[in-house]
Amino acid sequence: MTAKLHGTVALITGASSGIGEATAKILAAQGAAVAIVARRKDRLEQLAEEITASGGKALVIEADITDQKQAEQAVTRTVEQYGRLDTVVNNAGVMLLGPASEAPLEEWERMVSINVNGLLYVSHAALPHLVRSASISERKVTDLINISSVAGRKTMAGGAVYNLTKFGVAAFTDALRQEVAGQSVRVSAVEPGAVKTELSSHLRDEVREQSMKSFSDIELLEAQDIAEAIEYIVTRPRHVAVNEVLIRPTDQV
Ligand code: NDP
C-alpha cells in the first residue's frame, strides 16, 4: 500500500490517550510526520517510540492547550521542526457530565477552556500554516479536523455545558469551512458516539454510574474506529471534502 500522506505533517492534540493516540498512529502509518500534543509527556514519549519503531516520525510536544502561548508554541515548534503543516486534528477534550444545578463551576470552566478555548488557540495559530501548505503542497489541499460529538448534535440532561461546547465546535467548524475552502483548506467535524477511552474517568463518582448506565450493555466504538474516519477524510483527493461524520456504535440510538 502506498503511504498516502508521505511528506505531509500532522499535529494532533490530546494524543496521549484514546482517539488522539489512535489517530497519531494511523496518520503516521500513512506516512505523515506527527506532532503529538498533550500534558502527559510520559505517555507521548511511549507513543513516539512506538511510531518511530514502526518507521514513522513523531515529535513530542508537552503542552496545556488551555494556555494560549503553549497552544501557539505547539504549532510553531511543529512548523520549525518539519517545515510545514498539512493536517490539524483538534481532539483534546473533556466531558464532565452531571446535573447543572449541583455542578462545580470549575468543571464548566474546564470544559469551556479545553473544548472551546484550546481548540480556538490551536486553530488560530495553525490556519496561516494550513493555508500556506495548501498552496505549496503536491496534494494541493490541507485539513483542519475538529472532534465534536453526538453531543454536538443532540442535547441530553446532564450534558448542558458539554453540549454547549460541542454544539459550539460544530458551528465554528461549519462557518470556518465556508471561509477557507477557497484557500484549499478543508474543515471537517467528526462526531463520535460512545467510544471506549479514558474520557469517562474524569467524571465524579456520583455521576459516572448514572451517566454511563445507558451504555453498559452495548458494544462501544474503539478509538481506532474514529481514527479510521479521520484517515478517510484526510486521504481524499483535493476535490472531495468530507464536511461532517457522525459515528455511533450500532446499538446506540
Ligand atoms: P481521552 O480522555 O482518552 O483523551 C483526551 C485527551 O485530551 C488526552 O490525550 C488528554 O491528554 C488531552 N487533554 C485534556 N486536557 C488537555 C489540555 N489542557 N491540554 C492538552 N491536552 C489535553 O478521551 P477521548 O479520546 O475519548 O477524547 C478525545 C475527544 O473525543 C474529546 O474531544 C471528546 O470530547 C471527544 N469525544 C469522545 C467520545 C467518547 O465516547 N470517548 C464521544 C464523543 C466525543 P493529557 O491529559 O495528557 O493532557
CA distances from 245 to 100, 141, 144, 194, 229 (A): 29, 19, 14, 14, 8
How many beta carbons lie within 10 A of that of residue 119, not counting itself? 27
Q: How far apart are the first and last CA of the chain?
A: 36
Question: What does the alpha-carbon distance between residue 108 and residue 102 come to, in Å, rounded to a whole number?
Answer: 11
pLDDT, one tens digit per residue, over 58-102 is 999 999 999 999 999 999 999 999 999 999 999 999 999 999 998
Which residues' Cβ are closer than 6 Å to ligand 1?
13-20, 38-40, 64-66, 91-95, 114, 118, 147, 149, 192, 194-195, 197-199, 223
Question: What does the alpha-carbon distance between residue 248 and residue 253 come to, in Å, rounded to a whole number?
Answer: 8
Fold of 9-247: Rossmann fold (3.40.50)
Q: H or E segment at 39?
A: none
pLDDT, one tens digit per residue, over 166-197 is 999 999 999 999 999 999 999 999 999 999 99
According to the model, what pLDDT value does residue 210 have? Answer: 82
Asked whether the beta carbons of 225 and 210 are under 8 A apart, the reply is no
* Closest ligand 1 atom to 39 CA: 48
Rounded to the nearest whole angstrom, what is the distance from the C-alpha of residue 95 to the centroid of ligand 1?
8
* Closest ligand 1 atom to 114 CA: 18
Decide if pLDDT at 108 tops 60: yes
Question: What does the alpha-carbon distance between residue 62 and residue 75 come to, in Å, rounded to a whole number?
Answer: 12
Question: What does the alpha-carbon distance between residue 238 and residue 220 come to, in Å, rounded to a whole number?
Answer: 32
C-alpha cell at 171: 458551528
C-alpha cell at 212: 454511563
Sequence-distant (≥ 6) Cβ neighbours of residue 49 within 8 angstroms: none
